[in-house]
A and B are shown apart, each in its own frame.
Chain A
Amino acid sequence: MSAILAVCEQRDGTLRKVSHEVVTGARRIGEVEAVVCAAGPVQGADQLGRFGADKVVTLTNAAFAKYSPEGCAQAIAERAKTGGYGAVVFAASATGKDLAPRVAAKLGVGLVADCTDIAAEGGTILATRPVYAGKALLKVKVATKPAVLSLRPNVFTPVERPKAGGAETIAVNVAAGRVVVREIKAAEAGALDVAEAQIVISGGRGLKEPANFKVIEELARAFGGQAAVGASRAVVDAGWRAHADQVGQTGKTVSPTLYIAVGISGAIQHLAGMRTSKVIVAINKDKDAPIFKIADYGVVGDLFEVVPKLTEEIKKLHG
């Protein structure tokens, strides 16, 4: 297999952690050249060697201080064209989902999006990806040259596999972008995205009213900044929570280490969005709720008694 181009991400000059997953995943199918678009040096890029990057290339342009959809697509596509790479691998993050199809189109090939497994067999890349929100897995053979893949966050657990990780910085020229990121409005300080958090605690209709989400938020806080708050479609449609928090087929598909479903009965479209979580806990007053069928651990009871008690216990562990 020829070299793999692993497209990493930075924000405000710091490498995003999802890049470790991209390099780890890319390493499965070949020797890795990590590449990142930035305005200058990227803090943390020197760590990519630890995760298996043979080489780390920073493509610099003043326009890359913020994400430049068109500039980055041009720079990555040009890099991909020159190197004879077997594959170009992205994270299926918010940025990767935007960038990967642009690059694939410039290379004249399709994108294999949101992969949960990739392998190289006899020079051919095989990729597995959830479809129908995880109700089925689609395995595909990728004959495009190069293969363009994006990897679902939180699935390719970073594995240390030290390589040289030699750094190279190349100043690139790109056309002036028509699509310009003017600003990033930061979410509430410390708020994690449900798609990237290691722990997700989701609430549903069992919460009874929007203000009661505070019991979920308190539990999330008890995990000391590792947990994100999710929501079922019912409560998002009712306007209790933002769509960004929705887990399920018309929301996000998540694979955290620990998923805690609180007051969620478990409609099929919700189960589809969280069934790949490593450990699932369900708290619901209805012992026949479908959520208990896929939960590893269930507690039947009034969430307004169970969740605060759990918060107290978690605080003890982290305290």
Chain B
Amino acid sequence: MKIAVCIKRVPDSETRVKIGSDGKRIDEAGVKFVLNPYDEFAVEEALQRKEKAAAGEVAVICLGPAAAQETIRTALAMGADRAVLLQTDAIPADGFVTAQALAAELKTGGWDLILFGKMAIDDYNQQVGPMVAELLGLPCVTAVAHLEIDGTKGVAEREIEGGIEVVEFPLPAVLTVDKGLNEPRYPALKGIMAAKKKPLEVKPVQLPAGGIEVVALTPPPERKEGKIVGEGAGAVAELVRLLREEAKVL
């Protein structure tokens, strides 16, 4: 199994977002960056598939700034074999530009599987995986929560409103994965030491701006101060009255 996993460096989910002075991006000062949580499931899945096949390679591809090397080392410490950093200081707002850069890197790899997290928890673009599949002419299943592969046939399950869609696809394929697909491992000390010696190729890339331009990044509207209706079950009647008469939602 030859598997590529596309990963992203994102602010930790506990980050308090502060808007930068240009009003178009976040202020990164003091922000802790991590491997995108959904990408952890993708890395884990790739490692398990390779281990099961007892052969193959797991390569990690990341588009991001020089600092993303730290994120890449996390994936290498989990067990990936090698990595490529497509280095750029700014990830464009236009996901198609990102997809083109990744597709250009992936097109000659001869991959059996190309895995992505179903989305990045920073820009919420939710598009790069299926776009890479389109650009490479590969079949794609998104938001995979359960996966079985037998030879070159795969069966994936994905959550839809009110049910689970069972989807068949042939390999090679591009999959984007959901939380719950597996239990991502923590890098062991041995893995962390080994990761320092694994190949990490840095390739500077120049990206076009694309067709989606950031106008402003703003804090969400403040919610108006709420009120404590009361304490205990005795407050419920008043709560229901307020929901009916004041909020008019019942």
Contact = CB atoms under 8 A, between A and B. Distances in A.
Interface of A: 67, 69-70, 73, 92-95, 97-98, 100-102, 104-106, 108-114, 126, 129-145, 178-187, 191-193, 195-196, 242-244, 246, 248-251, 257-258, 267-269, 275-276, 278-281, 287, 292-302, 305-306, 308-310, 313-314, 317
25 contacts: A94-B159, A94-B161, A102-B131, A104-B131, A109-B94, A110-B93, A111-B96, A113-B95, A131-B123, A141-B213, A179-B140, A179-B168, A182-B155, A184-B166, A185-B166, A186-B162, A243-B145, A244-B159, A249-B13, A249-B121, A298-B227, A309-B233, A309-B236, A313-B240, A314-B250
B130 A98 contact: yes
B220 A139 contact: no
Contact of B243 (A73, A281, A309): A281
B214 interface: yes
B167 A132 contact: no
B104 interface: no
Contacts of B17: 132, 135-136
Contacts of A97: 126, 142-143
Contacts of B135: 105
A298 B226 contact: yes
Given A137-B220, A144-B211, 14 more contacts: A69-B140, A101-B127, A114-B126, A132-B124, A136-B219, A137-B217, A138-B216, A141-B213, A143-B212, A269-B13, A294-B226, A301-B235, A306-B235, A309-B236
Interface centre among A191, A267, A299, by most chain B C-beta atoms within 10 angstroms, is: A299
A131 B236 contact: no
Interface residues of B, number: 86
B163 A185 contact: yes
A162 B195 CA distance: 62
Contacts of B124: 113-114, 129-133
Main SS at interface, chain B: mixed
A306 B127 contact: no
Given A101-B95, A136-B219, A257 B236 contact: no
Interface of B: 11, 13-17, 19, 26, 37-38, 93-97, 99, 121-131, 133-135, 139-143, 145, 155, 157-170, 178-180, 210-220, 223-224, 226-233, 235-237, 239-240, 242-244, 247, 249-250
A179 to B, nearest CB: 5
B139 to A, nearest CB: 4
A186 to B, nearest CB: 5
B161 A195 contact: yes
Contact of A298 (B94, B168, B211, B228): B228
B125 A111 contact: yes
Contacts of A143: 211-213
Contacts of A250: 13, 37-38, 121, 179
B162 A187 contact: yes
B213 A70 contact: no
A250 B96 CA distance: 23
